[in-house]
Amino acid sequence: MRYLSRLFQPVITIPKNAKIKNTEITCKSQKLLLECGLIRPTSAGLFTILPLARRALDKLEIQIRSCIEAAGGQRMSVPSLTVAALWERTGRLQAIGPELMKMEDRHGKKYLLAPTHEEAIADLLADVGPLSYKQLPLLLYQISNKYRDEHRPKHGLLRSREFSMLDAYGIHSSEDCALTVYHTVTQAYAELFRRLQLPVHRVAAPSGDMGGSVSHEWQLPAPAGEDQLSVCSRCEHASLDPTDTCSQCGADTETRSSIEVGHTFVLGSKYSSPLSALCTPPSGAPQPLIMSCYGIGVTRLLAASLEALSSDKSLRWPAAIAPYTVIIIGPKEGSKEWQSHGADAIQRLSERIADTHDDDVIVDDRHHLTIGKRLMMADRMGYPYIVVVGKASLERPPRYEVYCSSAAAASVRLLTEDELLGLLGAAGAEDHDEIKTSA
């Protein structure tokens, strides 16, 4: 069983307009994550991810992996350090030079801490020699830390200099094959955002520095967003072009700030050609592979979902990635309830809940604090289910106060132990079904 008193969660109170270690607090996910003890800045745009946020990221990674593997993705790991000469050959060292974290080894060989790995993947494919069209398509992916020397890092995890990212690479023998895989990965993205219950819009996008023919951005409307999205009031069609009327149905549009959480591209041979990554077609000479690539900012998506769902005062998570699903708050020491059943009853209840929710339950065992104070802190943290062992626990049979943060209206229910287990079991089964049906 996990106990809150043992948790490393350095909660802080930040006075208004205060600055913390070179970091200005500019948005609510940053403020709440800092104040609730989930992240800690180390330097401009760099953050230590503390245990509760790490749990949420682990859960998010599990969801991402499950969706991308259902689309045929094979996981691998590419070094974070890429030889700079590869980026010279594709022209990107020049194109986005200032944004790259560059370094030299003791022999003077130049490297960069890669923000993305098209060059490294193309070099790998060149190294293994021409692939036969019969081996294709392939979808290779990794989830790892990436680096970008942001001119002005801001908004905490939304624009940091080191961040976790899913990057997936489609490898194809033709443009048609690339479009088929592109469609499959598009569906995987849609499934991921459905599981997270986030209203993410897919919008046509310019390819920018990446090059290639087809490109979409995945945008989550939220106040801290730096992009502007025109969303149709009738059909929800969204566009990055500032427009008053919807191109699909002619209805009025509304402009919303929005955060880019993912991107998909068909790259063509922009990387395979200069790096000689080749494919052997059914007849004729080897030709450059066609590549596609797919990114999801993992730390950014976590922060963006908090921006979209939280209030100014309290964190709210997609249920699937809340650090713990259930928190149990026992009575205050010395109270009537405490004298009647004390820590034993809480232990027993926790163990029964843990049976259905594995290690996804935490007990707030700071019994020297009032229930009200601990309830306020639990609400601020956004645990999906808060179970309070209060006055009604003295009834026969005992009943528990259950606060459900995902309910539309903040409501409290008094439930017996069996009713509580039924409620949590049903919630758990729903999650499980989702994973089964989409796998």
- Kindly list the residues in this chain that would bind Zn ion in the complex (CB under 5 A): 232, 234-235, 237, 246, 248-249, 251
Quote the tokens at residue 380. 């601020």
Mode of pairing for the β-strands spanning 138-147 and 74-75? parallel
Closer CB to Zn ion, residue 246 or residue 289? 246
Closer CB to Zn ion, residue 221 or residue 331? 221
Closer CB to Zn ion, residue 31 or residue 237? 237
Distance CA 298, CA 165 (A): 5
Closer CB to Zn ion, residue 11 or residue 249? 249
CB of 228 to Zn ion, least distance (A): 17
CB of 234 to Zn ion, least distance (A): 5
Mode of pairing for the β-strands spanning 399-404 and 361-364? unpaired
Closer CB to Zn ion, residue 113 or residue 240? 240
Closer CB to Zn ion, residue 226 or residue 236? 236
CB of 236 to Zn ion, least distance (A): 7
Distance CA 257, CA 262 (A): 16
Question: Edge-to-edge strand order for the sheet containing 131-132?
Answer: 131-132, 278-280, 287-288
Geometric angle at alpha carbon 118, from 115 and 124, rounded to 5°: 120
Distance CA 41, CA 22 (A): 9
Distance CA 208, CA 379 (A): 42
Closer CB to Zn ion, residue 209 or residue 254? 254
Give the relative orientation of helices 51-70 and 417-438 as an angle to the nearest 10 degrees: 40
Distance CA 52, CA 7 (A): 9
CB of 312 to Zn ion, least distance (A): 31
- Surface-to-core class of residue 130, CB atoms within 10 Å of its CB (0-12 exposed, 13-18 middle, 19+ buried): middle
CB of 217 to Zn ion, least distance (A): 18
In sequence order, which residues have a C-beta less than 8 Å from that of residue 406 and are 6 or more positions away? 319, 384
CB of 324 to Zn ion, least distance (A): 40
CB of 257 to Zn ion, least distance (A): 20
Give the relative orientation of helices 298-309 and 28-35 as an angle to the nearest 10 degrees: 100
CB of 246 to Zn ion, least distance (A): 3
Question: Edge-to-edge strand order for the sheet containing 361-364?
Answer: 2-3, 361-364, 326-329, 385-388, 399-404, 412-416
CB of 127 to Zn ion, least distance (A): 48
CB of 203 to Zn ion, least distance (A): 13
Closer CB to Zn ion, residue 62 or residue 249? 249
DSSP 12-26: --PPTT--BTTB---
Quote the tokens at residue 414. 């008094």
Distance CA 139, CA 171 (A): 6
Closer CB to Zn ion, residue 22 or residue 233? 233
Closer CB to Zn ion, residue 2 or residue 237? 237
CB of 245 to Zn ion, least distance (A): 8
Distance CA 305, CA 382 (A): 13
Closer CB to Zn ion, residue 232 or residue 291? 232
| Structural element, H or E, at residue 280 | strand 278-280
Pair 164, 145: CB distance under 8 Å: yes
Closer CB to Zn ion, residue 249 or residue 439? 249
| Structural element, H or E, at residue 344 | helix 336-357
